[in-house]
Amino acid sequence: MERIALFATCLTDTLYPATARAVVRLLERLGRAVEFPLDQTCCGQMHFNTGYAAHAEGLARSFASVFAGYDAVVTPSGSCAGMAREVHPKLGAGGVPVYELSEFLVDVLGVTDVGAYFPHRVTYHPTCHSLRVLGVGDKPLALLRAVRGLELVELPLAESCCGFGGTFALKNADTSTAMLADKMRCVLDTGAEVLTSGDNSCLMHIGGGLSRLRAGVRPVHLAEILASTEEDPWAPATR
Amino acid sequence: MGTRNPVTWLGSPAFPEAARTALADTQLRRNLRNATTTIRGRRAAAVAELPDWERLRRAGEAIKDRVLAELDTHLERLEAAVTARGGVVHWARDAAEANEIVLRLVGDEREVVKVKSMATAEIGLNEALAAGGVRAVETDLAELIVQLGDDRPSHILVPAIHRNRAEIREIFRRSGLAATGDAPRELAEAARAHLREKFLSCKVAISGANFAVADTGSVVVLESEGNGRMCLTLPEKLITVMGIEKLVPTWQDLEVFLQLLPRSSTAERMNPYTSVWTGVTPGDGPAEFHLVLLDNGRTATLADPTGRQALRCIRCSACLNVCPVYERTGGKSYGSVYPGPIGAILTPQLVDDPHDAQAASLPYASSLCGACFEVCPVRIDIPEVLTHLRARVVSARGRTAESVAMAAAAWVFGDPARYERAQRLGSLARFLGRDGRISRLPGPGAVWTASRDAPVPPRESFREWWRRNRG
């Protein structure tokens, strides 16, 4: 594995920089140098999924040229990884070896214990695209189980969609909210203080609902949990 | 075309609006949650029993794709085989033609019995018969509940899934079917007494078809109650309306679907009543058999290489039962006889009118979670077709506020410098934040903050941090 690039995703780069910093910290701790090509922007998923394939095509082509020459592109998003891996080739811009973070750690680096420490009660929401587009399976759970101090509680009906779905959350806001209500009920049933997941988009949705209700559950991306250590433990991001 | 395709119900609002009404119906929400949760679990268990399930799915997909690729040849073989065995084949371009043919075949009869059928629902046959002075009696229990309740179906397999026992008893009571109580047995007993009379008095039956074998001209209907078989065997004349895509070339192909369908739909290992007939047999069953082959938008659908996979559908309903949208909105929100994920891709293609706002809303009735594709026994990549149909909607609409916004976003994402400037501008939204959250966004963002807080943008994006620390 010569050159590893980070694809931060537009959402994480813009709204959740702590997650991308955590990926850098984690990979460097595991002895891997990671680059961040500054020409990267967006994978085009919003455009493609909303029916603007022509715009998505342009973004897919830029993506392919920005990441050409890397041996692995790691991203803290199951759905953007799915877009790049499954849809970009159909738009004539495939060939980039993209990995969602848990896949990269478990399949490529062969680690499940990354030496993390996170003394909290945590429940995990497996995002739809991680599950059904990428097929990450139990990898994120294996990583979480190896985190010291972490109490993992199973999320009931975990595989049900949270109702985000990109522009679906706006175009069908009522249905999206009904799905969110059921997801929040399941999260609250666990008694967890932290909800984690491999996608900031789903966390933004569920977290946004929990925050509105002052539910006392904090969304934290998987990367931030895995980057947390006893020496340098996770702390809430300052805005 | 001229006349509208009755596959969608006249006057139905677009999906978001219909869903809003349905979501407020607490009884419906509970009925649907209970029913879909139960059937979902049963299907998963029935499928898990078969070690070669994935191979069966691939076989089902391959057979259907082959049929669709050579549909004209297989249809002509079917017509020849049915005719050779004494049946009569009719071709119907659209719903109006099919209804006209059926009405003519019914002749002077004033009442007919019906086997549950999606094709006849799709063409609005019952309404067309009523207009011609013929009463159609639905004999499938759930379909009967819908008919007596002057209601609309909300599920492909279980059309009355939105009703609970107490509601069904009330519908029966108002229709003069006395049920002693609301136990399933008592309700079935009441329906049975009512239907027996109809089976014995009606001279004409109308059915759909799950499959037809082109080799021999045999037509196949799968059902669970035995009421279908009564209709298929007792009357003097049988009229079957079948979509042209329902063909399989050989009996060997049929075997694959007789495994895929029951496990996917009712979670049964074997279907309880599988009726197969070939033309007519003197002295045994109906003396007259008519097969109406229905196009109604299928040929147009077939012309689209991505969209045509919807024609592989065997109407099992597995996608409805796992769909998180369907589970909450129910089937009637889709405004069509084909609800749920399959309806969201099949209905707009059969309607084939880009200016029909209701049909155009259907491909957006999905969060693209992919649960439907995972369970589909013929591997229809429903999310792929949904995004494909969304693109068709977008190009038919031309310039809209959304298309301008999307073009602007693509322009911003198209250049890293522009993107970064937009990021810095967007970061100013942090001043909307109170206690680490934004509870009210202006403009289109208000739809988001109606039910969820928005994150407060950070002072520094990741790329700024990177440049400062690693650049």
Q: What is the pLDDT of residue A14?
A: 97
Q: How far is A3 from chain B (nearest CA, A)?
A: 16
Give the C-alpha separation, B437 to B227, whole Å: 59
Sign of the alpha-carbon torsion through B192, B193, B196, B201: negative
- DSSP assignment letter at B437: B
Q: Considering only CB atoms, which chain A residues are within 8 Å of B426? A: 14
Mean pLDDT of A36-62: 98
ipTM score here? 0.97
Give residue-wise pLDDT tens across range B268-320.
999 999 999 999 999 999 999 999 999 999 999 999 999 999 999 999 999 99
Q: Which two tokens stand for residue A19?
A: 């997650």
Strands (E), B251-391: 273-278, 288-294
pLDDT tens sequence across B440-453: 999 889 999 999 99
pLDDT at A239: 62
Neighboring chain B residues of A224 at a CB cutoff of 8 Å? none
Q: Where are the domains of chain B?
A: 15-299, 401-469
Interchain pair B16, A160: CB under 8 A: no
Beta bridge partners of B336: B8
pLDDT digits (tens, 9 = 90+) for A147-205: 999 999 999 999 999 999 999 999 999 999 999 999 999 999 999 999 999 999 999 99
**Residue A161 sits at the chain B interface (C-beta within 8 Å):** yes
For A172, which of B19, B452, B454 is closest by C-beta distance? B19
The secondary structure of A144-187 as a DSSP string is HHTSBT-EEEPPTTTTS--S-TTTHHHHTHHHHHHHHHHHHHHH
Q: Given this model, what pLDDT does residue A2 score?
A: 86
B 366-395: CB under 8 A from A? 366-371, 373-374, 387, 390-394
**Predicted confidence (pLDDT) at residue B414 exceeds the cutoff of 60:** yes
More confident residue, B435 or A179: A179
SS3 A194: strand
Going by pLDDT thresholds of 50, 70 and 90, the confidence category of residue B2 is: low
User: What ranges in B49-140 are assigned the alpha helix state H?
Assistant: 53-69, 71-84, 95-106, 118-122, 125-131
**Is the per-residue pLDDT at B30 higher than 70?**
yes
Domains of chain A: 4-108 (3.40.50), 121-227 (3.40.50)
In CATH terms, is domain B15-299 a member of 3.40.50.10420?
A: yes
Contact B390 A49 (CB under 8 A): yes
- Flag if A211 and B452 touch (Cβ within 8 Å): yes
Residue-wise pLDDT for B79-125, tens only, equals 999 999 999 999 999 999 999 999 999 999 999 999 999 999 999 99
**Chain A CB within 8 Å of residue B18 CB:** no
User: Which among B369, B402, B463 has CB closest to A161?
Assistant: B369
Helix (H) or strand (E) holding A72: strand A72-75
Q: What percent of chain B has pLDDT over 70?
A: 100
Given an 8 Å threshold on Cβ–Cβ distance, is A52 in contact with B463?
A: no
Query: For residue B1, is pLDDT > 50?
Result: no
Q: How confident is the model at residue B471 (pLDDT cuts 50, 70, 90)?
A: confident
Work out the average pLDDT over A128-151.
97
Contact (CB<8Å) B371/A55:
no
B336/A contact by beta carbon, under 8 A: no
- Using the Cβ of A63 and the Cβ atoms of chain B, whether some distance falls under 8 Å is answered with no
Question: Residue B178: is its pLDDT beyond 90?
Answer: no
Predicted pLDDT of residue B3? 76
Instruction: Indicate the pLDDT class of residue B179, thresholds 50, 70 and 90.
Output: confident
Counting one residue from chain A and one from chain B, the pairs whose CB atoms sit within 8 A come to 190
Best mutation target among A10, A14, A205 (most B Cβ atoms within 10 Å) is A14
Alpha helices in B266-339 (DSSP H): 298-302, 318-322, 324-329
Kindly state whether A174 is in contact with chain B, defined as any CB-CB distance less than 8 angstroms.
yes
Mutation choice for B interface testing from A176, A182, A204 by most B CBs within 10 A: A176
Q: Check CB contact under 8 Å for B19 and A40.
A: no
